[in-house]
Amino acid sequence: MKRHITNAFFIILFILLCYAVYEMPIDHTTDAPSYNEVVNHYIEQGLNDTGATNIVAAIMTDYRGFDTLGETIVLFSSIVAAASVLRPSKKKEEVDEHGR
Amino acid sequence: MEDKIVKTMTRMLLPFIQLYGIFIILNGHISPGGGFAGGAMIGTSLILYTIVFGLPKARKKFSHRAAEFMESGGLILYVAIGLIALIFGLPFLTNIEAGFSLGEPGKIFSAGMIPIIMIGIGIKVFSTMVSLFHILIEEEIS
């Protein structure tokens, strides 16, 4: 019973997502929501604003620098979490003597 | 791993992999690449070293202490560069207006703070990859 409900749910979700794909803008018109004045500004003024010829680097570390800082903090917190869980402690031998 | 061919080839190839990684990081603002890609390359080279020569030898090259230092160092470098702009009364992480030189486009020393931030990101990605691998493999051995 539970399985049928799950299957039905996923089929409905599949149809919904297929419908959503057809609602997307197909021809690359200028009305697409992602096409606004920001794109033109990056392409035309990117070199003057940042001096970087690689526009991806200019967007990543200058225009969206705060975003990349968050990305770096994610890396930091991931390594802290992994180390705190997995790194063997110095007291390990004592624990072994008393039996785990 | 006790294979002479793999060991010799690794010893020969490692400097070139690391040099290419450094090149990718330093040219991040000129050509495709950047901190994430270059850091991943250098990290992969040290992971290769760990696989071939074993963890004890790799620990000598990249110890816990070095990992801790580089982990925080990359992030602190990034934040410190961002904080320079606050001295001049500008928003956090301002580039050219905060006194970084624009330079001549296409040269290594250009684009203000972007190369410095790229170095910070490279150090961060490199140390994260290597120390995660070391932590996981350590658990497996002990």
State whether B93 and A75 contact (CB < 8 Å). no
How confident is the model over B83-95, as a mean pLDDT? 82
How confident is the model over A20-45, as a mean pLDDT? 77
| pLDDT given for residue B138 in this prediction | 78
- With b for 16 or more beta-carbon neighbours within 10 A and e for fewer, the A24-41 pattern comes to eeeeeeeeeeeeeeeeee
Encode pLDDT of A74-84 as tens digits: 988 988 888 88
Interface check B105 vs A, CB under 8 A: yes
Nearest chain A alpha carbon to B36: A72
Angstrom distances, CA of residue B41 to CA of B20, B22, B48, B93, B108: 8, 9, 11, 27, 20
CA distance B64 to B141: 17
Encode pLDDT of B51-88 as tens digits: 888 888 888 888 888 888 888 888 898 888 888 888 88
| pLDDT given for residue B19 in this prediction | 93
User: How would residue A54 be classed by pLDDT, with cut points 50, 70 and 90?
Assistant: confident
Q: Which positions in chain B touch A81 (Cβ < 8 Å)?
A: none
Q: Is the pLDDT of residue A59 over 70?
A: yes
| pLDDT given for residue B142 in this prediction | 58
Least confident of A24-38, A44-58, B74-88: A24-38
User: How would residue A91 be classed by pLDDT, with cut points 50, 70 and 90?
Assistant: low
What's the start-to-end Cα distance of chain B, in Å?
18
Q: Residue B113: which residues within 8 A CB-CB, separation 6 or more?
A: A61, A62, B81, B84, B93, B95, B98, B100
| pLDDT given for residue A27 in this prediction | 66
User: Residues 57-96, chain A: which have Cβ within 8 Å of B?
Assistant: 57-58, 60-62, 65-66, 68-69, 72-73, 75-76, 78-79, 82-83, 86-88, 92
Domain housing B36: 4-141
Angstrom distances, CA of residue A22 to CA of A9, A10, A12, A30, B9: 20, 19, 16, 18, 52
Distance from CA of A98 to the nearest CA of B (A): 17
Contact call for residues A66 and B117 (beta carbons, < 8 A): no
Over pLDDT 70: what percentage of chain A? 76
Q: Give how many domains chain B has, as a whole number.
A: 1
Encode pLDDT of B21-36 as tens digits: 999 988 888 888 888 8
